[in-house]
């Protein structure tokens, strides 16, 4: 079936957390989706749930964003009308490890650099070429408060997010003359994600980082991304830095107890 009349958004890393919440909010608002991630069963589950609930089309693409050949193959598998995306949300990303630089694990460094920087570039290269042809499109990068302010033990993760910040700014300089918007959203701590569990290699105790304060929830960030992606054509929100009320900065968090709404 042809889908060129409705808007299309690609969300990388839709199998959990912020990307998953984003898929739900865009689906609810009638967008057709391309959802990506490595866990096929999670993609299938999400596709089934959202297509049962909303009358939209969803393509799921299962690939490792660190593997340029897999990214290219997945993109090539799309029909031409699906390649004319209105929005690309570069969300897939992760932190691995939390050690000072002299104790860091270089395998972790490579995973973060390959995912957060190189993976983002691989998919953006393909999507942006098509957006330039169509003279329309919007790229929204998931940066982080860690891309604005470093913190102890954050070293390489922070560096990858500083790189995302630089890429957002420089991509905008390359693409604005084609009518393409480039934005980023930079959250502080976000719960209802697998972020901490992944960072601490599945250690559930270490991942309990949010018990003594209330951070943002994945849905909060998804709502902000949806807002950024649905402004009138003449508006480009360049960056939103957002944290929970108890987080004043990366290094100052009021851990005196969770807020009751
Ligand atoms: P989650 O771990 O819940 O989600 C990460 C997503 O990225 C998953 O869908 C995962 O899918 C995907 N992903 C990771 N590695 C790869 C890979 N190699 N190939 C393809 N997909 C991959 O974390 P969040 O939702 O929190 O993270 C989303 C983004 O938000 C990240 O860029 C993160 O840096 C950023 N962020 C998170 C914050 C937080 O506190 N949670 C705060 C600020 C920014 P799968 O495992 O199926 O491949
Ligand atoms: C995720 C937030 O503070 O763990 O980017 O780096 S933080």
Q: Which of 188, 244, 248 is the best mutation target for the ligand 2 pocket, counting ligand atoms within 8 Å of the beta carbon and taking the most?
A: 188
Please state the atom number of ligand 2 nearest to the C-alpha of residue 154. Answer: 6
Confidence of residue 2 (pLDDT cuts 50, 70, 90): low
Cβ proximity of 145 and 241 under 8 Å: yes
Nearest ligand atom owner, CA of 68: 1
Expressed in angstroms and rounded, the spacing between residue 195 Cα and the centre of ligand 1 is 6
Q: Is the CB of 155 under 6 A from ligand 2?
A: no
> How many domains in the chain?
1
Model confidence at 1: pLDDT above 60: no
Expressed in angstroms and rounded, the spacing between residue 253 Cα and the centre of ligand 2 is 12
Taking only the tens place, the pLDDT of each residue in 145-198 is 999 999 999 999 999 999 999 999 999 999 999 999 999 999 999 999 999 999
- Please indicate, yes or no, if residue 44 is contained in any of the structural domains: yes
Expressed in angstroms and rounded, the spacing between residue 1 Cα and the centre of ligand 1 is 31
Alpha helices in the chain (DSSP H): 17-28, 40-53, 68-76, 80-83, 106-112, 120-134, 155-175, 195-199, 218-229
- Please indicate, yes or no, if residue 140 is contained in any of the structural domains: yes
Residue 157 known to be catalytic: yes
Q: Which domain holds residue 21?
A: 8-253
- Please indicate, yes or no, if residue 122 is contained in any of the structural domains: yes
Q: What is the pTM of this model?
A: 0.98
- Please indicate, yes or no, if residue 2 is contained in any of the structural domains: no
CA 80 to chain centroid: 24
- Please indicate, yes or no, if residue 261 is contained in any of the structural domains: no
Q: Is the CB of 93 under 6 A from ligand 1?
A: yes
Six-digit token string for 250: 């990366």
CATH number at residue 183: 3.40.50.720
- Please indicate, yes or no, if residue 1 is contained in any of the structural domains: no
- Please indicate, yes or no, if residue 259 is contained in any of the structural domains: no
d(CA 216, CA 193): 10
d(CA 17, CA 39): 13
Q: In what order do the strands lie in the sheet with 239-242?
A: 58-62, 32-37, 8-11, 87-90, 138-142, 181-187, 239-242
Q: Is the CB of 91 under 6 A from ligand 2?
A: no
Cβ proximity of 115 and 35 under 8 Å: no
- Please indicate, yes or no, if residue 160 is contained in any of the structural domains: yes
Q: Is the CB of 144 under 6 A from ligand 2?
A: yes
Taking only the tens place, the pLDDT of each residue in 50-103 is 999 999 999 999 999 999 999 999 999 999 999 999 999 999 999 999 999 999
CA atoms within 13 A on the CB side of 156: 26
Taking only the tens place, the pLDDT of each residue in 12-24 is 999 999 999 999 9
d(CA 126, CA 72): 8
Determine the pLDDT at residue 119: 99
């Amino acid at each position: 079936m042809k889908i060129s009349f409705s808007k299309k958004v690609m969300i990388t890393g839709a199998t959990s957390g912020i990307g998953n919440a984003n898929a739900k909010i865009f689906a609810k608002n009638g967008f057709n989706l391309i959802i990506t991630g490595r866990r096929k069963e999670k993609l299938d589950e999400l596709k089934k749930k959202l297509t049962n609930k909303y009358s939209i089309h969803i393509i799921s693409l299962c690939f490792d964003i660190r593997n340029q050949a897999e990214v290219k193959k997945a993109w090539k598998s799309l029909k031409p009308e699906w390649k004319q995306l209105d929005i690309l949300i570069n969300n897939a990303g992760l932190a691995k490890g939390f050690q000072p630089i002299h104790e860091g694990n270089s395998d972790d460094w490579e995973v973060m650099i390959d995912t957060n920087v190189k993976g983002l570039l691989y998919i953006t290269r393909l999507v942006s070429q098509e957006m330039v042809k169509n003279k329309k499109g919007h790229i929204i990068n998931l940066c982080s408060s860690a891309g604005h302010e470093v913190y102890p033990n954050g070293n390489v993760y922070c560096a990858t997010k500083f790189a995302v910040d630089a890429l957002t700014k420089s991509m905008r300089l390359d693409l604005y003359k084609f009518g393409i918007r480039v934005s980023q959203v930079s959250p502080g701590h976000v719960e209802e994600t697998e972020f901490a569990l992944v960072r601490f290699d599945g250690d559930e105790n270490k991942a309990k980082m949010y018990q003594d304060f209330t951070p943002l929830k994945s849905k909060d960030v998804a709502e902000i991304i949806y807002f950024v992606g649905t402004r009138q054509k003449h508006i480009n929100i360049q960056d939103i830095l957002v944290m929970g009320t108890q987080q004043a900065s990366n290094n100052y968090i009021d851990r005196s107890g969770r807020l009751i709404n």
